[in-house]
Amino acid sequence: MLLHLKDILTKEQVKEIRQALDQANWQDGKLTAGNASRQQKSNLQLNQEDPLARKLGDFLLHTLSQREDFMGSALPAKIFPPMFNRYERGGAFGFHVDNAIRQVPNTPVKIRTDLSMTIFLSEPEEYEGGELVIQDTFGTQEVKLPAGDMVLYPSTSVHKVNPVTKGARVSSFFWLQSLVSDNEQRRTLHQLDQSIQGLRKEHGEESEHIQNLIWVYHNLLRQWSQTN
């Protein structure tokens, strides 16, 4: 399941974040790459311990917590603190799969990466290249979204970032462990939830059939979810 969530950030919020990041102390992205992906990676990243990264990351997490479309589709149990990267001057990241387990820095918390997320912080016309290419059962998708929008996709997907040949591609990227680890089960729940919301708008809250669907949804969630 690949989802495009629009307007996670307003244009004014994007502007403020970019102004801060444009003055940030960027580091070589290879410092955070694993052995398998180090040779594939050419970008800049903000150190996770940088106070700016923490401040902006907390803001993004709070913003996402208010989004029903995100909460309903991802069913997050734990979210890895948002990170920030910058691609320019030919920077790219070859095909790879994200690490299955991520440990939150300076904590014992480990997160299974069920879903990967990218929030775009550069407008598409600000740079050339830089498409996020995702390969999965839904085919090959090239993603290049407006600033403030987010793409959400399975962390099992093979993906890459095409070379940025002009301008700069700035984004936030991170992962989450879902209450429902299986992608097909999570997609089924999302489709059921979307159908329920649509029926509510058409027929109101009192329909016996809608109430039955709500019970089915929660019973499936109870059966499939893992809280640890």
The residue behind tokens 């290249």 is 129
Tokens 């208010």: give the residue: 66
159 is in an annotated binding site: yes
The answer to the question of whether 169 is labelled as a binding residue is yes
Residue 4 in marked binding region: no
Contact 97, 157 (CB under 8 A): yes
Cβ proximity of 92 and 162 under 8 Å: yes
**Cα–Cα distance between 152 and 142 in angstroms, integer?**
13
Joined together, the tokens standing for residue 100 give: 């299955």
The rounded distance, in Å, linking the Cα atoms of 160 and 95 is: 4
* Residue 193 among known ligand-binding residues: no
Instruction: Point out the annotated binding site.
Output: 96, 98, 159, 169
Question: Which residues are known binding-site members for Fe cation?
Answer: 96, 98, 159
Annotated binding site for 2-oxoglutarate: 169
